[in-house]
Amino acid sequence: MRLTIWNNPVTAPVLEGLKNVFGESVSSATRDEVLADLKSGLADVALIPTDVAFSSSDDFDLLPAVAISSWNNPFAWLKVETGLSTKSLKIIHTEDGKLSALLSAIVLKEHYAIGATLSQQDEMPAEMQNYEILSVEDGGDAEAHTDPVLLDLGQEWFEMANYPFVWALFAMRKGEADNATIEAIRDAVISIDLNRVELVSRWKDDVVMESYFLNDLRLRLDDLAVASLVELSEHLYYVGATTDLQPVVFVSLPDESAEEKPS
């Protein structure tokens, strides 16, 4: 089984944990590459950004039981240079920062009544990572303002929706999900969840990642995560990220305890 994992700090613990289980069959890639690998068959399973799961629902089946979510996210910040009194902002992002940019637009609109336009570019300024995003005043120069506001986008979503934000989901090509693969992914991720203390030594020199993995990362697709996805699907539609309201549907394992009724 070949797995491709979206290369983002929020998924890093899962990437390392899956490598421990599946070895060299696990690789990481940008969100464009993850999507291409899954579509082309280079990957049997992929961990994809949540907005991709919604916008490509006709192509992929979402796997049950496990997902990547959190109540906050130390790797998804929006720095509003103009403060929160502005009425309009431009969010600059690369392809890998698209989910955070979309979440920024949702949070700014619903929580602060600030309109946001998204501007995708090939790369971010040298001092920023390509998964990060940048806000500037629409038609203005952000550097001319003082007292910027920092928004943790995961926390902002929680305060707005009362659910953890779901960052990534496991997917397979439509119609190809089978019991053995679903169970293997589920069991591997649950093992990561249960063995955090042992696995966190990988980041003993990275205080932020260590704390995130031990305290903030959620790996179960529970009722809270599902409810969050339902709400997110509505917001993605209203900001134009999807062309219609997408239902949140996961493939399911048959009830193995059920027996055939005698004829």
CATH code for position 231: 3.40.190.10
Measured CA distances, 89 to 97, 109, 130, 146, 147 (Å): 16, 10, 19, 15, 16
Query: Tokens representing 108?
Result: 């700014």
- Check: CB of residue 70 under 8 Å from CB of residue 13: no
- Check: CB of residue 239 under 8 Å from CB of residue 109: yes
Q: 32 and 140 in one domain?
A: no
The range of the structural domain enclosing residue 37 comes to 3-71+165-238
C-alpha to C-alpha distance for 105 and 117, rounded to whole angstroms: 7
Collapsing DSSP to helix, strand or coil, 181 comes out as helix
Averages of pLDDT over each 10 residues, the chain, 263 residues: 96 96 96 95 97 88 96 93 83 95 94 92 90 80 63 96 97 95 96 94 91 96 96 89 82 58 39
User: How many domains does the chain contain in total?
Assistant: 2
pLDDT number for residue 218: 97
- Residue 81 has φ and ψ, to the nearest 5°, of -60, -30
Indicate the DSSP class of residue 258: -
Q: What is the CATH number of the domain that holds 147?
A: 3.40.190
pTM: 0.91
What totals of helices (H) and strands (E) does the chain contain, helices first? Answer: 9, 11
